[in-house]
Structures are given as C-alpha cells and as structure tokens.
Structure 1
Amino acid sequence: MSKIIYILGTQINKIENLTQKQLEIIKKADFFAGFNFSLGMSKELNPNAKYHVMDIYSSLKDENVIDLISQMKTFKTSVLMVSGNPLMFSYSKRIMDKLSKNEYEVLISPSSINYLCQKAKYPMNSVRYISGHNSHNLRKTYNDVLKTLNDNHQIAYFVKNKKDYDSLFNILKNIKVDIVAGFELGTKNEEIFEFKSNMPIDFKKGRWILLLIPQENDFINLFPKNSDLSTKNIPVSREWSRFILLNTLNRKQKHDVIWDLGAGSGATSLFISSFFNRDCLIYAFEKDYDRFESLKLNTNLNPEIEAINKDFIDILDEYESPDIVHLGGGINLEALNKITSKMKKNSLLISSVTTLESLNMILSIENFNFEYDMYTKFSNNKLGEKSAFKGEHVFYCIRGEKND
C-alpha cells in the first residue's frame, strides 16, 4: 500500500526544470495520473509505469476523485501530474481535500507565470492569477479581469482557445492594457510577444499565458450619470428614480438571470448589474436599432449584460426563465401576459411608470403580489406667507412577486 501520494506540478514542460527529488520520484513511481499534456515527461523518464489519463471535466466529479484516490493507494508510489501550480488548480485540490496531510506531498516546479515574467524581465510581485480554464461561464471570469485591472493590478491569464482569446480582447480593446504573451512556453515552439490590447496579434493554436498590465484604472463607472452615457434621442429615466427602483430589489437571495425588456440606453441594466456587484446575467432587449447602438456602447465593459437587437416578444422562448424582469416602455397587455407566463414562482417584476393606465395594466396581472408607491421630486412656490409643494417627475414604482 502506498503511504504517500505525490502531487507534482509539471509547469514548464522541460525535464531540465524538474528538481532532483522530482526526478527521483518520477523514475521510481509505478503509477501516474494526469492529463495528456502533463504526462509527457514522466512517460519519457518512466515508460514502464501504469498510466491513467484524466478527462479535464469528468475528473472533477466527486465520485471520480474518490475512485482515483482508491486506485492510487493500491500502488507503492503514485504520482499525480498536474500543469500549473497544483495548489491553485481545482483538480489537485479536490484530491488533497480527501487526504490527510501525511498522505500526500506537493512538489512544485517553477510555474509558467514565473517563467514568462523572467523571460520578459517583468517583476511578478503584484501579479494576480485569473484563469478561464475549465470555466463554463466566462462572463464572471471576464468581470474578474476588468475589476482587477480597474484596481490597477496586473493579471496573469491563461488562454485556452481562440474563442476565449477573441472574447477577452473584444472587452480589452476598450481600455488601455499592455500585454506580454507567452506562446507554448517550455517547448520548441516557444515565442514571446508584446502588444497592445486594442491591437491583438493573430492567435495560434496552442497554450498561451498573458500578462495584462493596465495603463489606466478606475475606468468602471458602477452607477453612471446620464451625462456619462450615450443617450442621444433616447428618453431616459433620472438617476434618482433608478435608485428608488433598485430599492425594490431588497431580497438577499442570489439573482442569476434578469430580463430588461425595452432596455433603451441600458442605464437601468447597468444600475441593476451594479446593485448585484455584476454577479448576474442580464438579457437587455431593445428592438430599435439606434437605441440598440447606444445600449451596446454603454455596456461594452459589462460582459454580464447581453444586448439583443430584437423584439423580445418574438424570442422569449429562447431564453431561460428570469429571476427578475424589468419592464421598460412600450409594453401592452398581450405582451405583459406572455412575459409573466414565462416567469417562475417567487420571481420579481419591477417597473417605474408615469401614467395611471400603465399602473392599472400591470396591477391587473394575476398571480402576483404587488407593492407600489408614488414618488416625486418637488420644489415649492410661495403663496403669500406660505409655501406650496410643486411636484416634478411624478411616477409609480412597482414591485410584484409571482406567487405560483
């Protein structure tokens, strides 16, 4: 029975980067587990051992982790070969979490980030690691990138394919970022590139590490003023009325999916996203092309907001049921009935309306518990020795929770 499982970081795939202890462990081991790209060195140094090739997604399943540990414990010397720092990647952590501290030993090689920084002569003291590797939802990853750059911190980022590369640079092109890229580090194809975020180089199939170095910070405006937005020829609500609307979102439960119907300039989408610290997915529908262009421009640094240039009433069936629906303008009773039929129990319907007809139409919808209040911004007029209130921008703020 094996007394210890070795977790060995392959990092840069060169044998000369291995420590003496790592070499000794690899040569004497009788079982290796890892991904294809991690096992090359061990197969070269110890071709007679037994090998288990892991699948990059299924290996994370709890039952597969347990099975792998059981298998590794049947051999005298077992080694888990992982790329990247094994303390940072989830598949090695899953294994360590199920072992006592005296059952494993971690043997770390220089990481690809260390290697790239050394090659580029770039200090790595303040570099933060972000990876979309294994991620099924890169929106959150890209938001982490933007928020980290916004705080003026450098990022080490792993690019896994061309789609990831193109999507990342579609966002980065809107801010000033210097980039040092390492391609196929530690192999005969190794190359180092330096370029700007608004002029990315052609992607080559292979393994990439990017160092993202911000040249500006504080570029994210969480609750932008109307004057900061592109709102030409678009009716847009006032900032203070949007904050009142946000106050209806007072539940602490997580809200994953939000529909903003008739999104206009995207101002309300931006406010709702900021209210949830950008940890949500907002489908912002706007059928008018000119307004849609402003919507895209205003949300180009918000990967969590997907702008859609179609009439939402024709395509709602294509989208997952929302936790929140915000009603913009131009919605009739037929559309409202279809919208609410797609909503699940306990989901919220919110809106700010300026006419009694709109208020009564929304309140007529069945299977909702509605709350609503009238608000106004007021000034005063002198009436002799007294002052009379004068209301400006009167509107109703509505919140409804679906009850079945």
Structure 2
Amino acid sequence: MSAEPPIYLDYAATSAVRPDAVIDAVTDYLRGIGATPGRAGHRRAVEAGRMVFRCRRALAELFNLPGDPGRLTFQLNATHALNLALFGVLRPGDRVVRTAYDHNAVRRPVNALEARGVRQTVLSGAPDGSVDLDEAARALAGNRNPARLLVLPHASNVLGTALPVAELASLAHDVGALVLVDAAQSAGHLPVDVQAMGIDLLAFTGHKGLLGPQGTGGLWARERVELPPAFFGGTGGDSDSPDMPGLLPDRLEAGSQNGPGIAGLLAGVQWVMERGVLAIHARQAALKLRLWYALDMIAGVDVLSPGDPDGVGIVTIAAAGMDAAELATRLDREAGVLVRAGLHCAPEQHEILGTGRTGAVRFSVGWATTEEEVDRAAAAVARIAGAAEPAVRAAGS
C-alpha cells in the first residue's frame, strides 16, 4: 500500500470527494428539518418543500429551462430518468435512433423496448468519438419511417468526447423526432442549455458533476411532451383520486422524496453556479490535457481518449501486455491512485476501440483534482508499466 494520500481520479463514476457545503447541507437537513417534502403542513414539512422548490429552480436556471420549473421532476438517478423518458415516449411501431456511445442505461431499455415492437437504429461510432452527421440524417429520416426519438449522450463516459447535440437535434427536428439527451457525464462539467441545444427531454444525475449525493437526479420534459407515470402512489395531494395527478411534477414523483439528497444536490448546484460551468470546465480541461500528454509519452501505453479540451475530463488508456483490472488494482495498492477499469457499462464503445474483451482503464478528473495528483498518477502508470517517468508537458504544448 502507498504511504502517500490517495488520489481520487474516478469522478466520472461519482464525485466521492465533495465540497464541505454539500456534506453540511445533508447534515443540516437531517438535524434541522428531517421531514418529508409535501407530506404535512407543519413547519418542518413546509421548509422541506421550500428546499425542494429551491433546488428545482436552481436546476432550471443552470440548464436554462423555459417555462414552469415543475416540468423538471426528481428521480433516483439518470438511469431512472432515461427509463421514464424512453418507456414514456416510445410505442410499438415507433423507431428510435441512438448511438454506439450509449451507456447501458440507454442500450438496455431500448433493447427491452425492441422486444415490444419498437425498432432501433444505432449510429456507428469512431475511435475519436465523432458522429457522422450525414449518417445521422439518413437514419433519422428512414425509409418512409422517420424516427420518433433521437437519444444521445452529451458526453461519452469512455472517451470523454462531447457530441454535437445542437446539430443532431436540428436534424431530428427536421423529421419531427423528439430529442432525449443523457447529461449524466456533462451536467456541471459542460454548459447545458436546453433551448440553445434544441433538447426536448433532459436526463441527468446529481452525484457526478453536480456534486450531490447518490440517489439524486431528474428528468425535464418540454411543454407538450407528456409522459405517463412509471410509478404509482402517494404524492401528498389529490389523495382522494384513484389516479395519479395530471400535473407535473406530482404526476412523475410518486412516493417520499429524498429530502437529504436533494438538499445536498441543491448545495452542489449552488457551488457549481457560483464558480461558473465555463470556469470549471476550463480548469478541468487543463488538468485533462496535462494527464493526457504525460500518459501519451509512456512506452506501451495506448491513450484511447482524444487530446480534446472540448470534452469532459476523462482520459482512458490501455497498457500493452497488462489486463485493465490488474493495472487499476496495482495503481490503487502501490500508488494510491483510484481509477476505474472495465467496460464502463458501455460495451459498444469498447468494441469500437478494440477493447471489448480486455476493457480499459479510465482516469477522470474533478473539482478537487490538482496538478500534483495528475503528475503522481502519470508517474505511477510509468513505474507499473516498466517505463521511465514521463516529463510533464504544459497543456497544449
């Protein structure tokens, strides 16, 4: 085991290192409020409801949501939000276009829907994370069968590259398709503007770039995009009705809400907004490039992620002659570097990269990552791979 402090470089999985403000918000909620939002009229329940509303409003500002903030509903995570959107929009006979960069949170529900009569078209990917817009236009138009829905990740969770959401959304709208964006990797790391980007449905998680606790996330749906409830139960109001309420957010928020989690999410969103998404992205892009150049100089290491400052802070590698799980385990035990190995719940991306059988090792920087940590991580890879320690170049050189 390394005697040095551990280096957390797995922010793409979750922000396990969080600002004190997020931790304090969860603790303060449990100590000072503790009640369930919308479940009583006493002061603690009312304050819980106010906190949930503040979080909904903060997210509406962050994502530039038009109209009623109530069209943003809280879900357990991006997976729940994506399932709610996919099963709510698509019917037998509909066609959905998705990408080879999709997480299993999209791939698996679409496959399940295919078994029910929904047809899918998968856009081919490339090792550099790009999308062929001409292919996308043809796939969306179809052969006298235009797509009902385009679903795509804003950023790849394997390569870190950002997809051209606005351009793809325009192509989708040309044929009357809705656009569902998976912002699990981008929210808090890249600007997300649903109006400028042409997004009709936005799914996000709270525990990555938004710095909130696990068990938080949400789904926003544009006006006139109505979704049926996936879960049925109490909402705190309309209790005499046998049916779910017709209005959002209650229609899609059955059951007790995660009050402590939403309190932490609110604090995380406020932390992000105070510093600015563009400033956060610029800092993390510099760290990503510093790591990318250092790893790229190591003999026997194949850097799979493009050296692209426009994406999120992910650098994925494969080491010649070394299993990805072995490299990750040795990085942890020998150098205290915490990363993620495997297929990252995105096997189609690994097939494109040629790592479908071996997996790869993903480094992902976050809000608390330092240059020293990046340098130590690259040096550890060099030692374990049996190469000389890399000379760190300035980002962009």
User: TM-score scaled by structure 1?
Assistant: 0.32
User: TM-score scaled by structure 2?
Assistant: 0.33
Determine which structure has more spread, i.e. the larger CA radius of gyration: 1
Question: Which structure's residues are more often strand, by fraction?
Answer: 1
